[in-house]
Structure 1
């Protein structure tokens, strides 16, 4: 079975039983595939459509196509989670640790080395209005009702803010959040859980940051859902 998704929503599928056996084997029984992203303005030039003169005045060249990510998932065996290969961007299993520095796009913060357990990097010193985007997070059929973040803060004593999860865009209504203030330093890490509305399927997840003060107030190492 092949399934196609746009922004986490399936729009087409083809099963083995639909084409003839030869066509299916020609498609599936080899290694090496290519993804083609095509921005077309038409195909019947010139004057190949009965009753029409083409191109028309509405045929305008010069448009562009913006693609944030392309991901290919191959189902594992023996009940394992799907494995993921990507050309740009990625996809994540919601139940695993999603590293903050792997966000495919972000507004604000600084990627830095972390002294947290396991080493690696974090996104540091996030402030009001900043966000991290994680496209194609796979919640599958399990309803996630909690998210957990590994967070630290060296903010001043009067500075605090929210860490929020939103689906689809950075201005969507949050499905869950927690408040955080100074934890003892920008590398003083805590695992902070928060309840959220039930989420299933494959989602574009935004981690957003809201505060009444303009100062940086939180660093994030990873998030995960359960």
Structure 2
């Protein structure tokens, strides 16, 4: 297994000047399809836990109901499913939701979190479908848990052609 310990993304930018001297610029940020949960851009209620068994040596823990992490910018065009890598000592009926723009925004995806056998036993959950909210958004990963510390999240992977896999022009 490859360990990914950095928050990696690509930024493309272009500056231009027309013949009349008018200047302009534009840019785009390209995110990878596999994201380490600890490389969020916003959060509420969670804690980053150092754990050698996690892909990047860290995971999201101390998860309680309605805690969340967020990532921006994300564009889910061409993304069909998402899978979460989690650890959970027991089955509590917990789940993970993806929501657009805020922790209470439109539901994009939802996945149940079963028991994995322990805090250091990681499982990649079966992929669940995504509803593309359109455009580039702030995506919130919202945790639903009937009790505190029900599970931990290591990473998640988006699947589909997306921006990362294009065919020939």
Show the counterpart of 2:155: 222
RMSD, aligned CA: 2.7
The 8 Å contact of residues 152 and 189 in structure 1, kept in 2 or not, is answered as yes
**1:164 pairs with one of 93, 97, 104:** 97
Which residue number in structure 2 is paired with residue 145 of structure 1?
Answer: 80
In structure 2, the gaps of 5 or more residues are 1-13, 160-169
CA contact (8 A) 1:113 1:119 kept: no
Deviation for aligned residue 1:200: 4.5
TM score, norm. by length of structure 1: 0.56
1:117-136 equivalent positions in 2, closer than 5 A = 118-136=55-73
Residue in 1 that maps onto 2:21: 22
CA deviation vs aligned residue, 1:9-33 (integer Å, no higher than 9, x gap):
xxxxx9957x544343xx77xxxxx
Per the TM alignment, residue 117 of structure 1 is displaced from its structure 2 partner at its CA by: 5.8
Q: Which residue of 2 aligns with 1:204?
A: 138
Contact 1:115–1:187 (8 Å) recurs in 2: no
CA contact (8 A) 2:55 2:154 kept: no
> 2:128 matched to 1:194?
yes
| C-alpha contact (below 8 Å) 1:131/1:170 kept by paired residues | yes
In structure 2, relative to structure 1, the CA distance for the partners of 1:73 and 1:185 (3 Å cut) is farther
CA 173–23 in structure 1, closer or farther in 2 if over 3 Å, else same: closer
Q: What stretches of structure 1 of length at least 5 have no aligned partner?
A: 1-13, 29-71, 75-83, 85-91
Residues 144, 200 of structure 1: 8 Å contact kept: no
**Which 4+ runs in 1 deviate beyond 6 A?**
none
**Equivalent in the alignment of 2:111:** 178
Query: SS of the residue aligned with 1:197?
Result: coil
Structure 2 counterparts to residues 37-56 of structure 1, below 5 A: none
Secondary structure of 2:106 counterpart:
coil
Aligned length: 145
Residues of 2 paired with 1:21 and 1:97: CA distance?
44
Bigger RCO (CA 8 Å, 6+ sep): 2
Change in CA separation of 1:117 and 1:123 when aligned onto 2, cut-off 3 Å: closer
CA distance in 2, matches of 1:203, 1:176: 14
Q: How far 1:110 moved relative to its partner? A: 1.6
What secondary structure, in the 3-state scheme, does the structure 2 residue paired with 1:136 have?
strand
- 8 Å contact kept, 1:160–1:182: no
